[in-house]
Copies of this chain bind each other. A is one copy, B any other.
Amino acid sequence: MATAKINEFEKEAIYLADIAKALSHPARIQILKILTEMDVCMCGDIVELLPLAQSTVSQHLKELQRVGLIKGDIDGPKVCYCVNPDNLNKAKKEFEIIFNLYTCKGAKSCRTKKK
């Protein structure tokens, strides 16, 4: 079976993996950058900056929204997207735990671990 056994893992690992999944496509990384670095928020503007069709960009925006990294503000027929600072910060802190694991534990290496 290819049914991912997602629920049999640790809660924190599931959360981190889910955020990582949202970041696992270059289009979504670039969308995050666009939303913060440029004065742009509309789906149509983002489409012009990426080599993707409008429907595809919409899907990517949906995925970023799913994990809460961005939010959309309906403004008439338009939707203004922006980063959700609280959730971005939460994700940042959780990722730091992973990335700091090694440095915190000191220089364990393959060699020293051998049998």
A: residues with CB less than 8 A from B are 4-6, 8-10, 12-14, 16-18, 20-21, 23-30, 32-33, 36-37, 39, 41, 50-52, 71-73, 75, 78, 80-83, 85, 88-89, 91-92, 95-96, 98-103, 105, 107-111, 113-115
Contact = CB atoms under 8 A, between A and B. Distances in A.
As for how many copies of this chain the complex holds, the number is 2
Given A10-B26, A20-B20, A82 B109 contact: yes
B16 A23 contact: yes
A80 to B, nearest CB: 5
Contacts of A10: 26, 30
A37 to B, nearest CB: 7
A81 B110 contact: yes
A98 B21 contact: no
Contact of A102 (B18, B20, B88): B88
Contacts of A4: 25
